[in-house]
Structure 1
Amino acid sequence: MLTKLRNRFFLLMTGFSVIFLITAFTAVYAVSYFKTSSEINEKLNFTEVLEINTDKEVSLGGEKTTALVVSRVFPNLGVYFNLIVDKNGKILVIDSALEFPADVYEKVGFDAWTHNNRQTIKFADRLWKYKITPSVTQIIIDNGSSSDHTDTDETYQIRFLDVTESMESLNTLRNTLLLTGSALLLAFFFMSLYFSNRAVKPMQAVWDNQQRFLGDVSHELKTPLSIITANIGVLYANKEETVESQIKWLDYILNGTKRMSELVQNMLTLSKIETENTFSIKTPVNISSTLAETVNSFEAAANTKNINIEENISGNISATAYPGLIEQVIYILLDNAVRYTPSGGIISIILHKEKSAAVLTVQNNGAGIPKEDLPKIFDRFFRSDISRTNSGDSFGLGLPIAKSAVDKLGGKIEAESTENEKTTFTVKIPL
């Protein structure tokens, strides 16, 4: 399920990235393309009357052309030349400041006239765009006493505009956008993959914890349920016996029921702590008095094992917190200390103020916790071999509940241990 979610998230991020890049780069290229095309068309559509004045007969004969050659330059039009042709495509006037051979003009004029729909032609290692439009051309021949006007009817102007640089700029822009876009898409691909995995990772951890939690709960419930079922079977097999004679089996059933009740209560406590907005508002809590009262409640249990409790509690240390959580953390740590301290052992309890935090230290001598087990002691249902031996009725939920409570208080809990010597828990609660 989470794999499908990750894949969908990855595809969604990648899809948005692709659409965004294609849209942005297409827009950039389209704007540049239409701007360049507009400038080219503006130059191609520039029109003017061509008027030629001469004081002698115009000879349209030449070395390789019969056309009249004139030279004009319009700076704003770029590199261009015009050919004036008649209705049959014969060149009448070559209007060019470029030094091309006459046969070149003849050839390109013929190609342009016969392939009007092509609009581009390449010669002299340059790319030219051309356009054919109606033209007005007037030749005035002045013979001194009279002037003859020759109006060329039905003439056409073929304007050739050098667009090599413009097209190369567009090609360069296109290639740059494609290269940049490909690089960005590749980067977005790996970023999407990274963030997809990162986004799903917490959910995967929660899912794994939930599955492990359910498995652990099922395992913990299996034993008391088996005990209850087995003892009920014994009772059914001895229906004729009195209740008093069967009290042993009933005690087993009662113990199994209590164990399940304790497990369910611990799970509910853990769930309540980890669920937000399940506690009332924070109130001032006197940690010193709460700790002293809780220690007093464990004196009887400690005396039965001849355990000596040493206290060093600084007075009037208060914090704005959830009262029930602080008391629960203290109870769990003291319960663990009494549970795992051997007979005749010592429990040391210290509370002092350190900067802006209350620091509680609970230390007991005893078997300690193996070094490899220390990172796991706050995991749900974890029990080291030592704890299984010394306290078979433990579910391994006490320390996870304490850690969740400290986290809820915005504090920190740590554990240190030396095997066969001592174990120390340190809790820091912000004031």
Structure 2
Amino acid sequence: MFKKLRNKFLFLNLVIISVMMMISFISIYLITYNTVRRDIDLELHKISEFNRKPKENPKELTSRDPMINLNKVEPHPERSISFTLTTDNNDIITSSFSILNMDEEFYETAKDMALSQNFDKGNFKLDDTHWAFMKIPYIGGYRIVFLDITSRQGILTNLIYTFLVAALIMLIVIFFISKFFANKSIKPIKEAFDKQKQFIGDASHELKTPLSVISTNVDVLLSNKEDSISNQSKWLYYIKSEVERMSKLTNDLLYLAQIDYSDVKMIFSDFNLSEAVENVILTMEALIFENGISLNYELEPNLVIRGNAEQVKQVIMILLDNALKYTNPKGTVDIVLKKTFNNIFLSVTNTGKGIPGESIDRIFDRFYRIDKSRSRSIGGYGLGLPIAKAIIEQHKGTISVKSVLNENTTFSIMLPISSKH
């Protein structure tokens, strides 16, 4: 699917570039062609005016002039090769004007090719030479001015060949460049698609487990229809527990979807982060000591940030909850909150097994858990850290993790300090 998408993108890109190149090349060629034609027309008019005055003619020749081969005669360096023929009403050449002597057959052929065209101006090819002509009515016949335009025609022809070669080279180069950027553009889409696919699979799996438990407990209840509710209450408690787990899971999923796709902006205000962290610690302090864990914290007072206080509290709660779950017996949890330059630094460190190196990069992925065998016993679906990361990023901050196996794990948060403080 992604290969087809890349190829479509590549094909569309090449088509657009090819059309733009063609338009550009045609425009340049037409401009050059019109410029050359104007120069030719201007020179034909100058030659016509020049040859109209006998005293200014470089040489006047008639049909009795000796024949001189055009290819063996060097033209004047400051003038183009040209000649003028005058005809009567029977299209017979009456006189000729030229800086070169040419044979009668050449004159006759040139005259016939000019008169055969129904236009006053035109061009033709004769003996591998390109000629432009202009017909002017003159005493019942015509005065026909001829100009050698072989060099100008060569310029236009070379321009076409240059365009074709340049276009071919450019298309080859653009093809590989477009392929590189197409692959680069498709990569994040593919990664997002793979994550979405995995997300749906994981969510389905997590929902399937409590649904299976609920279904089993309902079957047990139905098999004991005659028994009292008090005797079957444990099955009801199991059902209630799984419903609560499903509710938490669906709420977390909806919350992540809202963060990812909602256009509704959160309401931000300045609040005291030091007090917010202290309040969260107080709500969890009893639970921490109940589990035999030593809690140490160092909070710099009156640190104010701009954001959503409830969401930031949720992040702190998630980090402390993780620390509580994964700290080893008689372990330690350390919390540090301080100001560093224009940011506020918050870290939560707990002793324990730590996080393996291959899991560090995936720890913030949705539904990812390091020890899946313990996940059900300690609770959670692997959505806490992704939620924490999403909230911190909405607050223009960063969250990271460092871990030393069998020693400790530290989650660090950097948040911008409020500009008013």
Which residue pairs with 2:411 in the alignment?
425
Taking a change above 3 Å as real, the CA distance of residues 91 and 252 of structure 1, as seen in their structure-2 partners, is same
Match for residue 124 of structure 2? 120
Using the alignment, how far apart are the partners of 1:199 and 1:418 within structure 2? 36
Instruction: Give the structure 1 partner of residue 358 of structure 2.
Output: 372
After TM superposition, the structure 1 stretch with the greater mean CA deviation from structure 2, 353-362 or 192-201, is 192-201
**What is the distance in 2 between the residues matched to 1:97 and 1:43?**
15
Closer, same or farther: CA 61–401 of 1 in aligned 2, 3 Å: closer
Shift of the 177–20 alpha-carbon distance from structure 1 to 2, 3 Å rule, reads same
1:142 aligned partner:
none
Secondary structure, counterpart of 2:361 in structure 1: helix
Q: Based on CA coordinates, which of the two structures has the bigger radius of gyration?
A: 1
> Where does structure 2 lack aligned partners over 5 or more consecutive residues?
68-74, 118-122
Paired residues for 1:142-153 under 5 Å: none
Secondary structure at 1:298's aligned position in 2? helix
* CA distance in 1 between partners of 2:353 and 2:391 (Å): 26
Q: Which structure 1 residue ranges, 5 or more long, are not aligned?
A: 66-72, 137-153
Distance 1:349 1:371, change over 3 A: same
Q: Indicate how the Cα distance of structure 1 residues 259 and 112 shifts in structure 2: closer, same or farther if over 3 A, else same.
A: same
1:134 aligns with 2:165: no
1:91 and 1:245, CA in 2 relative to 1: closer, same or farther beyond 3 A? same
Corresponding residue for 1:173? 159
State the number of aligned residues: 398
Give matches, 1:39-118, under 5 Å: 39-44=39-44, 47-48=48-49, 50=52, 62=64, 64=66, 78-87=80-89, 89-98=91-100, 100=101, 104-116=102-114, 117=116
* Residues 243 and 163 of structure 1, relative CA distance in 2, 3 Å threshold: same
Q: The residue matched to 2:415 in structure 1 has which SS?
A: strand
Structure 1 residues 280 and 319: alpha-carbon distance in aligned structure 2, compared to 1, 3 A threshold: same
**2:248 maps to what in 1?**
262
* Residue identity matched to 1:113: K
Partner of 2:236: 250
CA gap 1:246/1:159 in 2 versus in 1, 3 angstroms? same
Distance 2:259 2:218 in 1: 36
- Residue 286 of structure 1 deviates from its aligned partner by 1.0
The alignment's TM-score, normalised by the length of structure 2, stands at: 0.84
Q: Give the letter for the 1:294 counterpart.
A: V
Following superposition, the deviation at residue 52 of structure 1 comes to 6.0
Name the SS of the counterpart of 2:225 in structure 1: coil
Contact 2:90/2:141 (<8 A) preserved: no
* SS state at 2:349 partner: strand
C-alpha displacement at 1:79, in angstroms? 2.7
TM-score by length of 1: 0.82
- Report the residue type matching 2:40 in the other structure: I
Find the counterpart in structure 2 of residue 28 from structure 1: 28
CA-to-aligned-CA distance 1:294-326 (integer Å, 9 cap, x gap): 111112211221111011111111111211221
Corresponding residue for 1:69? none
CA contact 1:274–1:408 (8 Å) conserved in 2: no
Q: Whole-Å Cα distance in 1 between the matches of residues 77 and 165 of structure 2? A: 36
Deviation at 1:126, TM superposition (A): 3.9
SS of aligned partner of 1:427: strand
Q: Which amino acid aligns with 1:108?
A: F
CA distance in 2: counterparts of 1:349 and 1:280, whole angstroms? 27
Secondary structure of the structure 2 residue equivalent to 1:377: coil
**How far 1:245 moved relative to its partner?**
2.2
Deviates further, 179-188 or 235-244: 179-188
Distance 1:318 1:398 in 2: 25
1:352 equivalent in alignment to 2:338: yes
In 2: Cα distance, 1:228 partner to 1:170 partner: 84
Greater Cα offset, 267-276 or 332-341: 267-276
RMSD: 3.1
C-alpha displacement of 1:74: 12
SS of the aligned residue for 1:244 comes to coil
Indicate how the Cα distance of structure 1 residues 359 and 272 shifts in structure 2: closer, same or farther if over 3 A, else same: same
Rounded Cα–Cα distance in structure 2 between residues aligned with 1:272 and 1:389: 25
Task: Give yes or no for contact 2:85–2:96 (8 Å, CA) kept in 1.
Answer: yes
- 1:64-109: CA deviations, max 9, x gaps? 57xxxxxxx99998431112344555443231112x3xxx431211
Matched, 1:16 2:2: no
